[in-house]
């Protein structure tokens, strides 16, 4: 099993300014929790081969290797490379063939893992590379037959990296629709409800192509409801759901006409909709879901470490949603309340840690906005607005996949000194936040959190420390 690696690459720099003690505590908690979510280790704990007994074991499932046909590996997502590394180490030449799609730039070069071909694609906007890589996965799906096993490795980012539009919809149509959806600031569940219904592989459709082989889904969840998801899992949404999301978001008339025509046609002909649980049951599709990680898990690990460090600790939520800056202001208000309150009113006494997970969003309401940032960085600066002047509060926020929005950093860290430091730099924080330019601000302060590829993707982790 791989040894734990240092996740945050610039800890010493981040802890050398401002509230140093609080910063070190927040970064320590993040480091511990992130290592516990490592996808390589999670797969290694779940899947193993008993050579003497000739058995393949996946959780509670036991297979006689002599009775298994071919073993295939497919998958996509920002944590899938680490998952594929583990599969290659565990199964090696027992893998007949495999293809996984990872985010371009996550690995230093195009490379393969034994019999698993590693292909790269764009994220969050789909591209032709993802389309071509998905075709390779479909080729494997067609080869799979009864008695074979197909491992499906899925993590956040898979939807963007596996573009394969339905007949009548072009890739450019899917790209245009994705751009519109991402600018809305709506939840990833809502975005995926639309994407599932314009794709020929998402929303469980890939499972139909793999059938009658048995499917083993190894999933890292990056959605707030923590349910199994992906192209080999039954869909729980309908074309009508997708239509209503586009209408509520006021972009129904902006999406390409091919999208509107397709969704309307599927709504009027339910048999064309994505496969539901009842469809999997009626077709007797053999599949098993294994959740390797989700936001609730990483919040619990953060809580465990905080308590080890002697901090009174509370998980506020693992389903945090909403506009990133506003969510930061709310969480900052809670921390401020702990700092200034006393007696029975205070629900948590310093030194303490507040843990909040989930996935906030940035709504690009101004079409002329050209700022660079991400939800976690904007969340952190939202907290900074509320804790300005505090000598006790520190907040660190990261996107656990290591890339916050379109930036190359995971998130940011702030404290009560942040707003004053921003003013000394001649920066108007309110103006930059309205332009969603959080990365510029935090880079100027040297307060971006850098991790590189993390090997997981369980949405966002926010750690707020209130020292004594």
Per residue in 283-324, pLDDT (tens digit) is: 999 999 999 999 999 999 999 999 999 999 999 999 999 999
CA-nearest of 447, 417, 350, 466 to 15 is 447
343 pLDDT more than 70: no
% pLDDT > 70, the chain: 96
* Whether residue 109 has pLDDT greater than 80: no
- The set of residues, in sequence order, having a beta carbon less than 8 Å from that of 368 and lying 6+ positions away, is none
Mean pLDDT, to the nearest integer, of 437-463?
A: 96
pLDDT in tens, 327-339: 999 999 999 999 9
What is the dihedral sign for C-alpha 1, 217, 232, 186? negative
At 4 the pLDDT is 61
**pLDDT-based confidence at 110, cuts 50/70/90?**
low
Does residue 399 have a pLDDT over 50?
yes
Q: Give all strands of the β-sheet with 95-103 in edge-to-edge order.
A: 112-113, 116-121, 95-103, 71-76, 149-154, 214-220, 287-293
For residues 198 and 221, what is the distance between their CA atoms, to the nearest angstrom? Answer: 22
CB 417 within 8 A of CB 18: yes
CA 199, CA 202: separation in Å to the nearest integer?
6
CATH topology of domain 11-36+295-466: glycerate kinase, domain 1 (3.40.1480)
CB 324 within 8 A of CB 382: yes
Q: pLDDT-based confidence at 366, cuts 50/70/90?
A: low
pLDDT band at 365 (very low <50, low <70, confident <90, very high): low
Q: What are 136's two structure tokens?
A: 């390779």
Instruction: Check: CB of residue 93 under 8 Å from CB of residue 115.
Output: yes
Region 6-26: mean pLDDT is: 97
For 418-444, how does the pLDDT look when each residue is reduced to its tens digit (9 = 90+)?
999 999 999 999 999 999 999 999 999
Residue 389 scores a pLDDT above 50:
yes
The domain spans of the chain are: 11-36+295-466, 39-164+199-237+274-293
d(CA 245, CA 195): 11
Give the C-alpha separation, 31 to 15, whole Å.
13
Does 39-164+199-237+274-293 carry CATH code 3.40.50.10180? yes
- pLDDT for the residue numbered 381: 98
**Which of 217, 89, 73 has its CA nearest to residue 154?**
217
If you average pLDDT over every residue of the chain, what do you get? 94
């Amino acid at each position: 099993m791989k040894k734990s690696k240092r996740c945050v690459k610039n800890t010493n720099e981040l802890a050398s300014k401002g509230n140093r003690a609080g910063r070190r505590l927040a970064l320590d908690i993040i480091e511990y929790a992130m290592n516990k979510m490592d996808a390589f280790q999670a797969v290694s704990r779940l899947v193993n081969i008993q050579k003497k007994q000739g058995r393949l074991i996946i959780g509670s499932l036991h297979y006689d290797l002599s009775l298994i046909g071919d073993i295939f590996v497919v998958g996509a997502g920002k944590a899938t490379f680490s998952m594929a590394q583990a599969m290659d180490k565990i199964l090696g030449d027992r893998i007949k063939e495999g293809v996984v799609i990872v985010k371009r730039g996550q690995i230093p070069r195009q490379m393969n893992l034994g019999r698993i071909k590693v292909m790269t694609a764009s994220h969050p906007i789909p591209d032709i590379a993802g389309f071509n890589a998905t075709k390779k996965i479909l080729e494997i799906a067609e080869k799979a037959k009864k008695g074979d096993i197909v491992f499906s490795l899925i993590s956040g980012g898979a939807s963007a990296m596996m573009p394969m539009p339905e007949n009548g919809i072009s890739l450019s149509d899917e790209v245009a629709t994705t751009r519109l959806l991402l600018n809305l600031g709506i939840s990833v569940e809502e975005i995926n409800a639309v994407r599932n219904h314009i794709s020929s592989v998402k929303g469980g459709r890939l499972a139909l192509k793999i059938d009658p082989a048995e499917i083993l889904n190894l999933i890292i969840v990056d959605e707030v409801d923590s349910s199994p998801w992906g192209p080999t899992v039954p869909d729980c949404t309908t074309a009508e759901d997708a239509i209503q999301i586009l209408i509520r978001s006021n972009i129904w008339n902006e999406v390409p006409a091919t999208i509107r025509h397709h969704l309307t046609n599927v709504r009027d002909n339910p048999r064309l909709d994505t496969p539901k649980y009842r469809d999997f049951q009626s077709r007797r599709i053999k599949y098993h879901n294994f959740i390797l990680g989700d936001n609730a898990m990483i919040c619990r690990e953060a809580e465990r470490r905080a308590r080890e460090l002697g901090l009174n600790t509370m998980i506020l939520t693992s389903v945090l949603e909403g506009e990133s800056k506003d969510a930061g202001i709310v969480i900052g208000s809670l921390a401020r309340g702990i700092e200034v309150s006393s007696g029975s009113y205070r629900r948590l006494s310093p030194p303490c840690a507040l843990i909040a997970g989930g996935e906030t969003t940035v709504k690009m309401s101004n079409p002329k906005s050209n700022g660079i940032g991400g939800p976690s960085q904007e969340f952190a600066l939202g907290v900074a607005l509320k804790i300005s002047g505090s000598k006790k509060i520190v907040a660190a926020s990261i996107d656990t996949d290591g890339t916050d929005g379109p930036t190359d950093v995971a998130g940011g860290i702030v404290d009560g000194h942040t707003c004053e430091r921003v003013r000394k730099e001649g920066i108007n924080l309110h103006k930059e936040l309205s332009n969603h330019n959080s990365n510029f601000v935090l880079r100027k302060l040297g307060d971006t959190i850098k991790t590189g590829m993390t090997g997981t993707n369980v949405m966002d982790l926010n750690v707020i420390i209130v020292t004594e």
